[in-house]
Amino acid sequence: MHYLDNSATTKVLENSAKKAYEMMTCHFGNPSSVHKLGISALSELKSARISVADLFGTSADRIFFTSCGTESINTAIFGATNKLHKRGKHIISTKVEHSATLKALEKLEGNGFEVTYLTPNRQGIISLDDFKNALREDTIFASVMHVNNEVGTKFDVVAMSKALKAKIPHALFHVDAVQSFAKVPMSEVCSHADFISVSGHKIGAPKGIGALYIKKGVSITPYLYGGGQENGMRSGTESLPLICAFAEACKERKNNLDKNNKYVEGLYDYLVNTALETFENSSLNGENTIPYIANISFNGLKSEVMLRILQDCDVYVSAGSACSKGKKSYVLSAMNVPHNLIDSALRISLCPENTKEDIDAFINAVKIGHDRLLTLK
């Protein structure tokens, strides 16, 4: 199998899966229980929080576990705007955010908030000047992704947060770092953002676990009420197997960050150079991208058909984000990519466990599709 759809989700790392099993069968106590089993579960929870915080480059008390990236994003967006709504109703975001952000903002628009959605340029970049020009006296919140999930473009969230704070010191800034976590160092983002959302299943942990970083001194209304877990921010008995499996993945990714990034950069260069040299109808979408995501259009070859041909060759990529379920990419549309290149775009997303053989298999499968579809014309 040649799995190149790691931005949709990743295979669980072996140590991460083992840890989940160990937590389910040995340390299965409730961390709120006062007996020995509870105490050992609590101790596992504490060390897991430290490991996740380490990958952020922050302290453990700033990390709140959630069930996924979507929950983290919703907690930040609704928590921040609920806190600040009396000081203004204007929000800044972009047209290329994940639907977790866009749908939450849409809900706020229905409740009287006004959102300015910034448009990327043809290369997928959101301009800092556009961000600055969108700032208003009544801006209370901004939410911008660190890395785009379809194209891999990296946005200058640190500069945007600085610009927001310089004009409106009380406004809050959220970063969706679901696609950059464990790939791009996060400590500088932690020093400038008020909230950072991440998700376990994008970095080799199981599905069902995420985290929200909240800056020291920033308080928001919780999303879930109950037993007061997660320092009152997110009630509900902690999912120790998932939390500890996530922590295991964070440890492994942190220990190998530079090595992994260098390795994936090599794979990316090989992929992009080979694809562009081999197929004259191919073109790369986006600039300033991280090496984990390549969005390539194969003009004339419809992505849905190519996905099926690739699947027959045991090669798995996607045509856009997993959540878009085959709809036309709103990200590439916002970038003003021509329709024929949107219809023929494939997202190839890498992880450190991929090999050169996976890339070769992808190129060979595209050749098969290319020959089959173009000879039909």
Q: Which residues bind ligand PLP (CB under 6 A)?
A: 68-70, 98, 100, 145, 149, 176, 178-179, 199, 201, 210, 321-322
CA 198 to CA 177: how far, in whole Å?
5
Instruction: Report whether 89 contacts 114 (CB < 8 A).
Output: yes
Rounded to the nearest 10 degrees, what angle do helices 240-255 and 14-25 cross at? 150
Residue nearest to ligand PLP (CB): 69
Structure tokens given for 340: 């024929």
Q: How far is the CB of 178 from ligand PLP (least distance, A)?
A: 4
* Residue partners of 209: CB distance under 8 A and separation at least 6: 65, 66, 67, 68, 199, 200, 201, 239, 242, 243, 245, 246
CB of 208 vs ligand PLP, minimal distance in Å: 9
CA distance 207 to 71: 13
What whole-number distance in Å separates Cα of residue 115 and Cα of residue 55? 32
Q: Which is nearer to ligand PLP, 5 or 238 (CB)?
A: 5
Alpha-carbon span 293 to 268, nearest angstrom: 8
Give the residue with the Cβ less far from ligand PLP, 148 or 344. Answer: 148
Question: Which residue number, 42 or 157, has a Cβ lying nearer to ligand PLP?
Answer: 157
Please indicate whether residue 190 is annotated as part of the active site: no
Give 95 or 302: the residue with its C-beta nearer to ligand PLP.
95
- Token pair belonging to 112: 């009287």
- Rounded Cα–Cα distance for residues 44 and 125 (Å): 41
Q: Which is nearer to ligand PLP, 44 or 150 (CB)?
A: 150
Q: Which residue lies nearer to ligand PLP by CB, 161 or 321? A: 321
Q: Which residue has the tokens 């106590």?
A: 29
Tell me how many helices (H) and strands (E) the chain has.
Answer: 13, 12
Least distance from C-beta 42 to ligand PLP, angstroms? 25
Q: Do residues 253 and 55 make contact, with C-beta atoms less than 8 angstroms apart?
A: yes
CB of 153 vs ligand PLP, minimal distance in Å = 11
Least separation, in Å, of the C-beta of 214 and ligand PLP?
Answer: 17
Least distance from ligand PLP to the Cβ atom of residue 117, Å: 16
C-alpha span between 366 and 301 (Å, rounded): 9
Rounded CA separation 257/203 (Å):
12
Q: Active-site residue among 68, 190, 250, 323? A: 323
Contact, 138 vs 88, CB < 8 A? yes
Catalytic residues: 323
